[in-house]
């Protein structure tokens, strides 16, 4: 996906853990130096002033383990995406960024429970389809 975005001259960012419990986003390009974070996940190594806040993004492709047609997302259990994008729940009108899950069709379940802090997905891009979530 990154190669396609770069071919189309799009800027791409990858999530980075902060000292707290929220994500910031680092620019990524071919050949950038990467290092493992405390969970062993590779992150771009950039200066702090290059990191973006979640509100500065246009589109977020959020990983998931499971999802339903209402936009409920089961992640890895750390709550990083929900805390980082909680501001999306405050507005009824569209605003940036679009919050989209990315996964496989087999990860869709009939219904997932949700908590008040969960941030729903607008849609899910799977290996076979684009699913627009009901709100």
C-alpha closest to that of 103 among 65, 50, 47: 65
Residue 36, SS3 per DSSP: strand
> Which residues have a Cβ under 8 Å from the Cβ of 115 and sit 6 or more positions away?
none
Residue 116 tokens read as 């008040």
Residues marked active site are found at 73, 82, 118
């Amino acid at each position: 996906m990154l190669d396609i975005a770069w071919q189309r001259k799009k800027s791409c960012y990858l999530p980075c853990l902060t000292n707290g419990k929220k994500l910031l986003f680092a620019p990524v390009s071919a050949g950038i130096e990467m290092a493992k974070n405390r969970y062993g996940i590779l992150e771009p190594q950039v200066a702090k002033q290059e990191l973006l806040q979640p509100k500065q993004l246009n589109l977020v492709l959020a990983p998931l383990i499971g999802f339903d047609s209402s936009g409920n997302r089961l992640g890895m259990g750390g709550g990083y995406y929900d805390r980082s994008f909680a501001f999306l729940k405050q507005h009824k009108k569209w605003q940036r960024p679009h919050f989209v899950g990315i996964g496989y069709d087999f990860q869709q379940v009939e219904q997932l429970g949700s908590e008040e802090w969960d941030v729903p997905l607008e849609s899910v891009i799977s290996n076979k389809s684009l699913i627009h979530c009901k709100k």
